Amino acid sequence: MKVYKTEQIRNIALVGNAGSGKTTLAEAMLLEGGVINRRGEVTSKNTVSDHTPIEQEYGNSVYSTVLYAEYNDRKINILDTPGMDDLNGHVVSSLEVADLAVMMINTSNGVEAGTEAAGRHTESKNTPMMFVFNELDHENANFDAAVDQVRGSFGNKVTIVQYPVETGPGFDSIIDVLKMKLYKYGKDGGQPQILDIPASEKDKADELHNALIEMAAENEESLMELYFEQGSLSEDEIRKGMRIGIVQRDLYPVFCTCAKKNIGVNRLMEFIANVGPSPDCLPMRAIESGKEVKMNENEPVSLFVFKTSIESHVGEITYFKVMSGKLTESIDLINANNGSKERLSQLFVSAGKNRVKVPEMVAGDIGCSVKLKETKYNQTLSTKEAGTKYAPMVFPSSRHRVAVKAVNETDDEKVGEVLSRIKFEDPSYVIEYSKELRQLIVHNQGEYHMNILKWFFDNVHKIEVNFNEPRIPYRETITKSAQADYRHKKQSGGAGQFGEVHMIIEPYEEGVAPKGTFVLDGKEYKLSLRDTQEHVLPWGGKLLYINCIVGGSIDARFMPAILKGIMEKIEQGPLTGSYARDIIVYVYDGKMHPVDSNEISFKLAGRNAFSMAFKKSNPKILEPIYDLEVWVPSERMGDVMSDLQGRRALIMGMGSEKGFEKISARVPLKEMNRYATSLSSVTGGRGLFKMAFNSYEKVPADVQEELLKAYEAEQDDE
């Protein structure tokens, strides 16, 4: 393969709803680009893109796949992305290195949930975009209706460059209003006849041609002046204006294909090669540290790793975009994230699991290497002189949680290893072992995303696992003052154990000073506040530990032991075993034994006195409350509101945003289990939400009663 210059490279990401034909189009592009000599089919499980066992079993893309094609002295790097929204992490990582998003539209369905989701990702990444209206041979294909839908969602920047003469089973001809020619294809697609536009279509084509010229001219002042002066623009001038508009996201060209019949694919590739932006047309990736470099082969070498995968018999594969310089075989680079040294002994361009060895690559190109030791996705490799470190990709926030537990405890360690491997290939999984909940929790994008995990455990690693609802990180606190004392006494020959502690506890409130006088159960307590320790608890809230001992009833050396006992009980609260918070403890009296008193005695006395006082202080369970924002189609507003009210949500406000109704609410985390699935069901997959922790609040009395009973039953089982 020849070495392509930066201006000869095109990096595209195929995005859109599942079933819109992305993988089929990629296959046709590889055929047109000479990478393959026969097209595979998704249904036959022989496409270059969906080559993994899970993709062949599921019948759709699960990972993004890196491909390439050579066309008209251009190298087109193609990233085929999954269409299921649960797999949006792969869309995000692909858009990070793509210079043009090719949005696939199934013309019989128009704008779908996946179309809207992919559109949001292109907008957040500011990625240039074009539309390909596919499956125009479907009996229900309606080009005009689909264009109206797309313009309704994406605005009047959507500009027709091609339209079909006829849709449905008879689709074989496309009118191109940039070329002002008719492209007529045979039954097997491939190379078309290029004909003059028939008289019956001339008026429509002229109208669309003039609209295209106006859209192109608007993007540069000199073109606009030329247009006013001449009344028209040449094809090259139109291309120039279109390229500027595409880069600025002011123009979204529309092309037509039937990918499975290879109709329109070669003209689409010609347009991408001629008009699509090269990598140096777009802003450089943000740099966190090190030398600022340009996307130029004369700069120091730097790479950004956007994807890693594992293949049997090969091992780890590292996919990167060359951000600057000229990359050659056996180059030594520094990982800017961890300081390790990496030698790229071999360079490849990738077409799925097939790789072609190349001697060098220049800035803007996408390639891969194998068996790097310390480098994975979201990391930068660069020369020592540059030390460049690029800003990491930010993946979508998790929308679903599940606790994973091996059925056989001996497999626990293997489960952790499997999850680490799966996350290596899909960073949108977040793996967390919660010490508090005593669970291994996987944060993911939804039930489909979770089912992929289950598939790997069942089919690849043969480990039986349970997927359970995660526990909720409740908190415990108190609402009134209480007094308790406890004597720990143990004698079993030789030295014994003795320690007695008297304490008062009360709720802690920010800004309220500790008190010196209490009246509890008709008895008045006057305390001398001698020493106050403030402990900010790692899980939120505070503990104030106040030494009120006078007269030496407890030696000062035992005070830390009492605190240790209290902290043990705070870490496993008396009500449900959850963390306790926001408590003031006054230790005001006690007794010692000259021989038998020791630290363990006072730790146990302090722990038990605290537990007794806690239960007398009208304790309450606190639950985590989250801020929730939901975007829904207006026609589904009532159903979504009804569902939220059933989840104890407090509606904080409503409004409109980007064609959707927006609901702001506060809702308990406990009620949000499987919400991603519920919202998708209610809104036909079009709903979107995000959550952020807000605060802890007291649970309702009936909920607290349920939690207490559940905890008691759990303790009895143990």
pLDDT tens-digit readout, 509-521 = 999 999 999 999 9
What is the DSSP code (8-state) at residue 65? E
Question: What single-letter amino acid sits at 393?
Answer: M
Contact predicate 97/321, CB 8 Å: yes
Task: Note the pLDDT of residue 95.
Answer: 98
Contact predicate 296/262, CB 8 Å: no
Segment 66-89 shows an average pLDDT of 96
Extents of the domains making up the chain? 6-281, 287-390, 400-471, 476-618, 621-703
Task: Note the pLDDT of residue 493.
Answer: 67
Q: Is the pLDDT of residue 680 over 80?
A: yes
User: What is the pLDDT confidence band of residue 156, given thresholds at 50, 70 and 90?
Assistant: very high
Contacts with 201 (C-beta within 8 Å, 6 or more apart), sequence order = 165, 175, 182
pLDDT per position as a tens digit, 586-604:
999 999 998 899 999 999 9
Task: Note the pLDDT of residue 394.
Answer: 95
Segment 251-278 shows an average pLDDT of 97
Task: Note the pLDDT of residue 580.
Answer: 96
pLDDT per position as a tens digit, 366-379:
999 998 989 999 99
Closest to 421 in 3D by CA, of 463, 359, 386, 391? 463
Q: Is 397 left (phi over 0), alpha (psi -120 to 50) or beta?
A: beta
Domains 400-471 and 476-618 share a fold: no
Q: Supply the CATH classification number for the domain 621-703.
A: 3.30.70.240
pLDDT per position as a tens digit, 322-370:
999 999 999 999 999 999 999 999 999 999 999 999 999 999 999 999 9
Q: Mention the CATH class of domain 400-471.
A: alpha beta
Contact predicate 256/136, CB 8 Å: yes
Q: Give, in degrees to the nearest 5, the angle at Cα 307 between 302 and 310.
A: 120
Q: In terms of CATH architecture, what is 287-390?
A: Beta Barrel (2.40)
Tell me if the pTM is above 0.85: yes
Q: Residue 608 to residues 53, 482, 613, 708: CA-CA distances in angstroms?
A: 57, 14, 9, 20
Segment 281-302 shows an average pLDDT of 95
Residue 570 CA to residue 376 CA, distance in Å, equals 40
C-beta contacts of 34-39 below 8 A and 24+ residues apart? 34/69, 34/70, 35/67, 35/68, 35/69, 35/70, 35/351, 36/351, 39/262
Question: What single-letter amino acid sits at 315?
Answer: G
Task: Note the pLDDT of residue 317.
Answer: 96
Q: Is the pLDDT of residue 144 over 70?
A: yes
Closest to 162 in 3D by CA, of 150, 147, 148? 147
User: What is the pLDDT confidence band of residue 718, given thresholds at 50, 70 and 90?
Assistant: low
Helix (DSSP H) and strand (DSSP E) numbers for the chain: 16, 40
User: What 3 state SS string does 558-603 have?
Assistant: HHHHHHHHHHHHHHCCCCCCCEECCEEEEEEEEECCCCCCCHHHHH
Task: Note the pLDDT of residue 172.
Answer: 96
DSSP 492-546: SSSS-EEEEEEEEEEE--TTPPPPSEEEETTEEEE----EEEEEE-TTSSEEEEE
80 membership: H or E segment, kind and range: strand 74-80
| Percent helix, strand and coil across the chain, each to the nearest 5 | 30, 35, 35
Task: Note the pLDDT of residue 624.
Answer: 96
Segment 531-551 shows an average pLDDT of 95
Task: Note the pLDDT of residue 630.
Answer: 94
In whole numbers, what is the pLDDT of the chain averaged over residues?
94
DSSP three-state, residue 145 = helix
Task: Note the pLDDT of residue 360.
Answer: 96
Task: Note the pLDDT of residue 520.
Answer: 95
Q: Regarding the domain delimited by 476-618, which CATH topology (the fold level of the hierarchy) does it fall under?
A: Ribosomal Protein S5; domain 2 (3.30.230)
pLDDT per position as a tens digit, 167-181:
999 999 999 999 999
What percent of the chain stands above pLDDT 70?
99
Q: In terms of CATH architecture, what is 6-281?
A: 3-Layer(aba) Sandwich (3.40)
